[in-house]
Chain A
């Protein structure tokens, strides 16, 4: 099957800055894919190259098999991009903006779909409002709508929830999930790692223009010895034998690192032998943030 996105050995340099240093990546049709990384990692640069807003120094990029340089018309038709920057054209209203964007893709009678998108993004009441008069979050919604006017099979969202309220965030994800269920491929960047964890089936982590991790979300979460047991003890201190497991200790509340569930029993036995009583106990799954921080630390070396 043709990959939705195929990136091969992409390099990009801005003067002295190596923004991308040899990216290889494939996203299959129908995936919900996350692109994570700290500020300046190169996420937006990669997306810009995908969209034709920037040109790679070397390497090739294809969207649904269409090269973004030599077959740019087909590749751009297949792609919808929500840009990170909050941009808008102050001359037009929301509806005009969406109609004009449809027209650029050669779509003449697109009002039914425009209405549907506006409805899902809670924009209907703003249809006639001038872009200039919208709040930041509202402008962001219009950017999402603009990216979707031509029903692109591949949708890329570059931090779509930055500066957006909780309600829209949930509404937006529900809408995007629905699009994904209907077969659209989704690529997402975000600094809210719990969003990525909840939504993305597979994740690539970028650092300084290189991919430092690439796996399914569940494998990323499970690949670490980072299951945590949190205990509040009374009557005695934490036995010295467990000191090596401590992630953090505050007063009598200790968070211990375990390799697997099988280790729970042994740890509890040691605590009991030391004469301590357990007042509170909780098993914590590592979250994506733990994994992210760890991978970024490792990539430092």
Chain B
């Protein structure tokens, strides 16, 4: 077993041991969104011509759960370790900064995927859904969770206190997810907000993810994927550079 696989295993074990809180709770929350929004919005015009609103909503909610949980996993693990001081257990061994990055991000991807699959399965009990292009679904789920995993890692590296991670979550992650088209197609927005949404990387992730289900999207999914991967590349590069310097980890 290499240092990397041990760190990955430890990160997986960490959220698995509290699965009720890290998996069951977000699945339930998302389900509540689904029930309430699809009820309130009942009778609203179908999206993309013939997709019922409830069906349109599900992929958005699944992706939202994937993104938020991937972010929460890396950021909460790191800030907990930093605040309690047990971060030294991973700083003392000969783990490279690549090992460190890959283990935290991969564990976040797994957590995001597990929650996402959970939300999807439960939703299928309420809403009928098509799966037009499963590979696109998978590609965007992986890209989205990896992006948020690396963002979570960045937040965890930067923060010194729990409330700083919470601020990162409330003032950056939440607005970006809510304004990314989870609950609506951006074509229903006024022109100004449509234009602004194009600068939100989460918009492309959700739009492309939806394409996987319905075969229709606001943006060409290949373009969306390239934009998502470019984002991932940037966050990866920044994370690795910070880890290499030991920024806020090695004083």
- Does A215 sit at the interface, judged by CB under 8 A? no
- Does A106 sit at the interface, judged by CB under 8 A? yes
B144 to chain A, nearest CB (A): 27
| Nearest residue, chain B, Cβ from A108 | B1
**CA A261 to CA B215, docked complex, whole Å:** 99
**CA A103 to CA B99, docked complex, whole Å:** 13
Say which residue of B9, B13, B88, B93 sits within 8 Å of A91 (CB atoms): B13
Per the 8 Å Cβ criterion, residues 5-21 of B in contact with A are 5-7, 9-10, 13-14, 17-18
Given that A55-B250, A100-B6, A103-B9 are contacting pairs, would A76 and B93 also be in contact in the complex, using a CB cutoff of 8 Å? yes
B98 to chain A, nearest CB (A): 12
- Does B170 sit at the interface, judged by CB under 8 A? no
Contacts of A292 in B (CB 8 A): none
A139 to chain B, nearest CB (A): 11
Per the 8 Å Cβ criterion, residues 163-182 of A in contact with B are none
Given that A54-B250, A73-B94 are contacting pairs, would A103 and B5 also be in contact in the complex, using a CB cutoff of 8 Å? yes
- Does A113 sit at the interface, judged by CB under 8 A? no
Contact indicator B10/A100 (Cβ below 8 Å): yes
- Does A89 sit at the interface, judged by CB under 8 A? yes
Contact indicator A52/B91 (Cβ below 8 Å): yes
Contact indicator A105/B94 (Cβ below 8 Å): yes
**CA A54 to CA B249, docked complex, whole Å:** 8
**CA A107 to CA B3, docked complex, whole Å:** 8
A143 to chain B, nearest CB (A): 10
**CA A260 to CA B92, docked complex, whole Å:** 48
- Does B246 sit at the interface, judged by CB under 8 A? yes
Contact indicator A104/B95 (Cβ below 8 Å): yes
| Nearest residue, chain B, Cβ from A149 | B93
Per the 8 Å Cβ criterion, residues 71-96 of B in contact with A are 81, 84-86, 88-96
**CA A96 to CA B6, docked complex, whole Å:** 11
B165 to chain A, nearest CB (A): 18
Contacts of A150 in B (CB 8 A): 93
Contacts of B7 in A (CB 8 A): 103-104
Contacts of A48 in B (CB 8 A): 251
Say which residue of B1, B14, B88 sits within 8 Å of A83 (CB atoms): B88
| Nearest residue, chain B, Cβ from A85 | B85
A112 to chain B, nearest CB (A): 16
- Does B2 sit at the interface, judged by CB under 8 A? yes
Contact indicator B94/A76 (Cβ below 8 Å): yes
How would residues 42 to 72 of chain A score, 1 for a CB under 8 Å from any chain B CB and 0 otherwise?
0000001001111100000000000000001
| Nearest residue, chain B, Cβ from A71 | B94
**CA A146 to CA B90, docked complex, whole Å:** 12
Say which residue of B2, B9, B14, B18 sits within 8 Å of A106 (CB atoms): B2
How would residues 87 to 120 of chain A score, 1 for a CB under 8 Å from any chain B CB and 0 otherwise?
1111110001000110111111000000000000
Contacts of B9 in A (CB 8 A): 100, 103
**CA A96 to CA B14, docked complex, whole Å:** 12
The size of the chain A interface, using a CB distance under 8 A, is: 33
Per the 8 Å Cβ criterion, residues 21-59 of A in contact with B are 48, 51-55
Say which residue of B13, B81, B89, B94 sits within 8 Å of A101 (CB atoms): B89
Given that A85-B85, A87-B84, A91-B14 are contacting pairs, would A104 and B90 also be in contact in the complex, using a CB cutoff of 8 Å? yes
- Does A191 sit at the interface, judged by CB under 8 A? no
Given that A54-B250, A87-B84, A103-B9 are contacting pairs, would A74 and B3 also be in contact in the complex, using a CB cutoff of 8 Å? no
Contacts of A87 in B (CB 8 A): 84-86, 88-89
- Does A81 sit at the interface, judged by CB under 8 A? yes
Interface centre among B18, B92, B96 (most CB of A within 10 A): B92
Say which residue of B3, B14, B250, B251 sits within 8 Å of A104 (CB atoms): B3
Contacts of B89 in A (CB 8 A): 87, 89, 100-101, 104, 146
**CA A92 to CA B85, docked complex, whole Å:** 15
- Does A77 sit at the interface, judged by CB under 8 A? yes
Contact indicator A53/B250 (Cβ below 8 Å): yes
Contact indicator B250/A103 (Cβ below 8 Å): no
Contact indicator B251/A105 (Cβ below 8 Å): no
Contacts of A100 in B (CB 8 A): 6, 9-10, 89
Top-9 shortest CB links A-B? A103-B6, A104-B93, A73-B94, A87-B85, A76-B94, A108-B1, A89-B86, A87-B86, A54-B251
Footprint of A on B, CB under 8 Å? 1-3, 5-7, 9-10, 13-14, 17-18, 81, 84-86, 88-96, 246, 250-251
Some 9 contacts from A to B, beta carbons below 8 A apart, are A51-B92, A52-B92, A53-B92, A77-B94, A87-B89, A104-B89, A104-B94, A105-B93, A106-B94
Footprint of B on A, CB under 8 Å? 14, 48, 51-55, 72-74, 76-77, 79, 81, 83, 85, 87-92, 96, 100-101, 103-108, 146, 150
Known A76-B94, A101-B89; 15 more pairs at CB < 8 Å: A52-B91, A52-B246, A52-B250, A83-B88, A87-B89, A89-B81, A91-B18, A96-B13, A101-B93, A103-B7, A103-B10, A104-B90, A104-B93, A106-B94, A107-B1
